[in-house]
Chain A
Amino acid sequence: MSNKLKFAFYWSASCGGCEVAVLDVNEKILDVAKIADIVFWPVAIDVKYKDVEAMPDKSIDVCFFNGAVRTSEQEEIAKLLRTKSKIMVSFGSCACLGGIPGLANQYSSEEIMYEAYIKALSVTNEEKVMPKILTKVSEGELELPRFYEKVYTLDEVVEVDYYLPGCPPTAEWIAKAVEAIAKGQLPPKGSVIGIDKTVCEECQKERTSEKKIKKIYRPYEIIPDPKKCLLDQGIICMGPATRGGCKAACPNVNMPCRGCYGPAPNVYDQGAKMMSAVASIIDSTNEEEIEKILSDVKDVIGTFYQFSLEKSFLKGNIKPQIETETYVGEERREYPRVMADYLVVYRVLTEEEKKDITVTKNLSLGGMCLTTNRSFNKGERIILEMKMPFLLQPVILLGEVVDSREIVKDLLYDTHLQFLSTDDKTKELLIKMINV
């Protein structure tokens, strides 16, 4: 046997675009063949699941798994491949984020079936026949797999080592991932294999320093100036909240980014991040007016969560995740920190009139990080009104700026605050939120 690496590829609920992306690596596929044997790839090799079962544990070096998980069969295979693989790579937007099929999580499986087989306009189905797990026909029985109530991301089903997002991932980044694996130069476990930049940072369009919009336009409503930033022109473009790597392919043809590469580095909830970015560039400080302008976005999920609904705080019972990695910075934290998005209205203590709204990026008992649309000086004092779930009244906090860093040029800043005084009641609320 050769000393080559052993690769496995598998797909579940996806469209096949990821396979096309693998083939688009073109001549580089020959380089892959030089360093690796593909031991499981249902398109290419006839290996039954039971053959995979017979392989020793951890005998596959890398498994590239694309597609979301919707059926019991897909879950079983994900678990089997996890056991047999040293490294599990979540490949493409569906596996990483739920992707487009994840939009189905807005609806129950009954609603989805009813729409397709009974209500759909061209269906003629007076007897209301629906696909069934088991059908008795005159000759015997026919089976269909059972579908779960919802779509899961791969890492909700098995432990994932690396993420390679994109719809589909670009040939460039597929090749880079393979190269990193071959050379043993992999980033820390849990990392996204990709560029640490936003789509905006890769985009050629000009941003203006004046970043205020009065109206949100849907893409069909205006013909944008092709040289200028789409967001500046009032078209929601997910660039600021989205990881780059695509070289801004969609903005290049004057179409807004829809976020297929998933949340930008250090962002958990891509949609919330984008909403706060939009809120911060609206030319108004009046909450009502801001709300009115934002109300032109009739479909919040399809606009802000087109690819990432299943990887967001919207999806239901998810709890904010405690950050496991240690904070690498000047100070060591006294309190545990959670990634969380809560709405915050904030203003500088001395500026009574200039309110703005955003969401928290993370939160601890001692402070928080906010996404803001301007930078603040160290030591500036900020009044924060934080809206918490289940509470009508906002919690009022006073914070002091620790630092304020530019994330997207002239648009987004991460502002770290330390709480100055928190009374016992507020503290109690914060503890509840952090230790959910």
Chain B
Amino acid sequence: MKKITIDPITRLEGHGRIEIFLNDNGDVENAYLQVPEFRGFEKFCVGRHVEELPRITPKICGVCPEAHHLASTKACDAVFGVEPPEAAKKIREMFYCAHMIHSHIAHFYVLAGPDFIVGPEAKVEERNILGVIQKVGLQIASEVIKHRAYAQEIQAMIAGRATLPVCGLPGGISKPLTEEERKQIEEKAKSCVEFAKFTVKAFENVVLKNKEYLNIVLSKDLYYMESYYMGLVDKNNCVNFYDGDIRVVDPYGKEVAKFKPAEYLDYIGEHVESWSYLKFPYLKKVGWKGFVDGKDSGIYRVAPLARLNVADGMATPLAQQEYEKMYKTFGQKPVHHTLAFHWARVIELLYAAERMLEIVQDKSIVTENVRNIPTKTPSEGVGVVEAPRGTLFHHYKTDEHGIVKEANLIVATGNNYAAMCMSVKKAAQGFIKKGKVTEGLLNMVEMAFRAYDPCLACATHSLPGQMPLIVNIRNKDGEIIETLRRD
């Protein structure tokens, strides 16, 4: 049996490594997406002052540290049983919208952009950020850079630093917002709304109006998977990134669970495989049935498309219009087309910008009252937010001094891990026939998991907009008989 190793030299949550096994006919027998890195935060969070975890856990990921910061801060609120003042909650949410804007802009233009704007069939040399700039023009490229920078500046203003924030404390935030800062953020937020509108339009013009691209998105062969979906919703069942209940829908769109963060253990279990350091979350009530899709398998998906699939709509007007348009185009809900994650992401960008503007125009956020001092004895708490890459859970148990005794973390990308494994296998099966491995495999496998914007791959895309891939094809004895590379 032949073994093919795809070793993308990627980082963040580690190298991702793909092993593909071919049977005697040269067809794909099985494929494995391995995550070979592990640092053990669950353990070394133990013994810490719990209020330090909002500063320690963002170091899990330098790309979405804001998500860990807020999930951790909310878990601390719960540990101390303290409710932050209204203004503090709003400022946290506004800060978080800025993070979403930053992350979604980077993903759409720099990471996914090359696939769609330059085109999946374009030459490899052009399928990168430089190709995107060439296609959209320097002026637009500078708008992209400007608005990513705006989002970073807003985060730094509120949290002290743009990367690895420090402002969250149990009971609120460390620094009130001044009227001067509020005005600055308002100006930037207005500009972000305009830019998000432009981006939605660009997606429509470049992708939806191009029949060839649209067919790839709508294809049910390679990028299609029927699964459960999970995401946070507000009290009206609209998408919310910062707070709310967790809602789960089945592959037919029926709500099968709606629960509070503190109840997550009743609904989510994590399966362990000995060939990967990343665990596989699944729906406990359905059960772990292995790498299979459908209603009987507990595998679920998270992140932009999942969030839209579980919600009844968007809480802001422009995003709501786009939401309706997307579901009308597919003519079904939930949408199971993996590449629709990109569309959902653009709609979320618009929502994040609109929501940020809405909050910053609420002058009640300019107040000294942004912290409540905890008075109760600390014990246990769960904090959940929607990270750009999906639902993120932090759960801490402490002693009476607030010293951490147990810490449990389910990270955003982890939720999609099982689904990503299956997408990779499907792409491999589609592109490897009778032992023939084509260059297309590399692109298509890459596109299959780029849709999820997985943390273990996003850094790879950050500069050139493509992932260097190496495929080793080995014979039974493990000797390399052929090497394919995509520089």
A20 within 8 A of B: yes
User: Nearest-CB distance from B271 to chain A (Å)?
Assistant: 7
Task: Kindly state the separation between the CA atoms of A105 and B210 in the bound complex, as whole angstroms.
Answer: 54
Interface 1/0 per residue, B52-88 and A, CB below 8 Å: 1001101111110100000000001000100000000
B317 / chain A contacts, CB cutoff of 8 Å = none
CB distance B460 to A43 under 8 Å?
yes
Task: Kindly state the separation between the CA atoms of A11 and B14 in the bound complex, as whole angstroms.
Answer: 10
B274 / chain A contacts, CB cutoff of 8 Å = 129-132, 135
CB-nearest residue of chain A to B408:
A121
Task: Kindly state the separation between the CA atoms of A89 and B288 in the bound complex, as whole angstroms.
Answer: 46
CB distance B270 to A219 under 8 Å?
no
User: Nearest-CB distance from A352 to chain B (Å)?
Assistant: 37
A327 within 8 A of B: no
CB distance A226 to B175 under 8 Å?
yes
Binds B, one of A192-200, A248-256, A318-326, A340-348: A248-256
B258 within 8 A of A: no
CB-nearest residue of chain B to A127:
B272
B434 within 8 A of A: no
Task: Kindly state the separation between the CA atoms of A125 and B169 in the bound complex, as whole angstroms.
Answer: 34
Residues of A in contact with B (beta carbons under 8 Å apart): 11, 13-21, 23-24, 26, 41-46, 48, 70, 99-101, 103-104, 106-107, 109, 111-113, 115-117, 119-125, 129-132, 135, 137-140, 142, 144-145, 147, 167-168, 218-223, 226, 249-250, 252-255, 258, 298-299, 301-303, 306
B437 within 8 A of A: no
Task: Kindly state the separation between the CA atoms of A115 and B279 in the bound complex, as whole angstroms.
Answer: 13
Query: Of A14, A100, A221, A223, which one neighbours B56 at CB under 8 angstroms?
Result: A100
CB-nearest residue of chain B to A123:
B270
CB distance A168 to B43 under 8 Å?
no
CB-nearest residue of chain B to A13:
B39
Residues of B in contact with A (beta carbons under 8 Å apart): 1, 3, 9-12, 19, 21, 29-30, 32, 34, 36-40, 42-44, 46-49, 51-52, 55-56, 58-63, 65, 76, 80, 145, 149, 152, 159-164, 166-167, 169-171, 174-175, 264-265, 268-277, 279, 281, 284, 288, 371, 373-374, 393, 395, 401-403, 406, 408, 410, 459-460, 462-464, 468-470, 485-487
Task: Kindly state the separation between the CA atoms of A16 and B61 in the bound complex, as whole angstroms.
Answer: 6
CB-nearest residue of chain B to A100:
B59
User: Nearest-CB distance from A239 to chain B (Å)?
Assistant: 14
Query: Of B36, B47, B265, which one neighbours A299 at CB under 8 angstroms?
Result: B47
Counted as pairs of residues, one from A and one from B, with CB atoms less than 8 Å apart, the total is: 238
User: Nearest-CB distance from A187 to chain B (Å)?
Assistant: 26
A19 / chain B contacts, CB cutoff of 8 Å = 11, 62, 459, 462
Task: Kindly state the separation between the CA atoms of A45 and B462 in the bound complex, as whole angstroms.
Answer: 12
Per CB-CB distance, the 10 closest pairs between chain A and chain B, nearest first, are A17-B62, A46-B468, A112-B40, A139-B21, A253-B160, A16-B62, A15-B62, A42-B9, A124-B269, A100-B59
CB-nearest residue of chain A to B173:
A253
Query: Of A43, A226, A299, which one neighbours B48 at CB under 8 angstroms?
Result: A299
B55 / chain A contacts, CB cutoff of 8 Å = 255, 258, 306
Task: Kindly state the separation between the CA atoms of A217 and B322 in the bound complex, as whole angstroms.
Answer: 50
A–B complex contacts, Cβ < 8 Å, 11 sampled: A15-B59, A17-B63, A24-B162, A112-B43, A113-B38, A124-B269, A124-B270, A168-B62, A218-B402, A249-B161, A258-B52
Task: Kindly state the separation between the CA atoms of A21 and B459 in the bound complex, as whole angstroms.
Answer: 12
Task: Kindly state the separation between the CA atoms of A103 and B469 in the bound complex, as whole angstroms.
Answer: 33
A137 / chain B contacts, CB cutoff of 8 Å = 30, 32, 275
CB distance B43 to A220 under 8 Å?
no
User: Nearest-CB distance from B459 to chain A (Å)?
Assistant: 5
Given contacts A48-B470, A140-B3, contact A299 B56 (CB under 8 A): no
B47 / chain A contacts, CB cutoff of 8 Å = 106, 299, 301-302
B21 / chain A contacts, CB cutoff of 8 Å = 139-140
Given contacts A13-B39, A140-B3, A144-B277, contact A45 B468 (CB under 8 A): yes
CB distance A253 to B175 under 8 Å?
yes
Given contacts A142-B275, A219-B169, A299-B49, contact A250 B160 (CB under 8 A): yes
CB distance B486 to A46 under 8 Å?
yes
Task: Kindly state the separation between the CA atoms of A145 and B152 in the bound complex, as whole angstroms.
Answer: 36
Query: Of A24, A48, A106, A122, which one neighbours B163 at CB under 8 angstroms?
Result: A24
Query: Of A111, A132, A223, which one neighbours B371 at CB under 8 angstroms?
Result: A223
CB distance B279 to A221 under 8 Å?
no
Most buried by B among A11, A46, A70, A130: A46
CB distance B59 to A167 under 8 Å?
yes
CB distance B163 to A306 under 8 Å?
no
Query: Of B152, B162, B401, which one neighbours A298 at CB under 8 angstroms?
Result: B401
Query: Of A24, A116, A125, which one neighbours B42 at CB under 8 angstroms?
Result: A116
User: Nearest-CB distance from A119 to chain B (Å)?
Assistant: 8
CB distance B51 to A144 under 8 Å?
no
Task: Kindly state the separation between the CA atoms of A302 and B19 in the bound complex, as whole angstroms.
Answer: 39
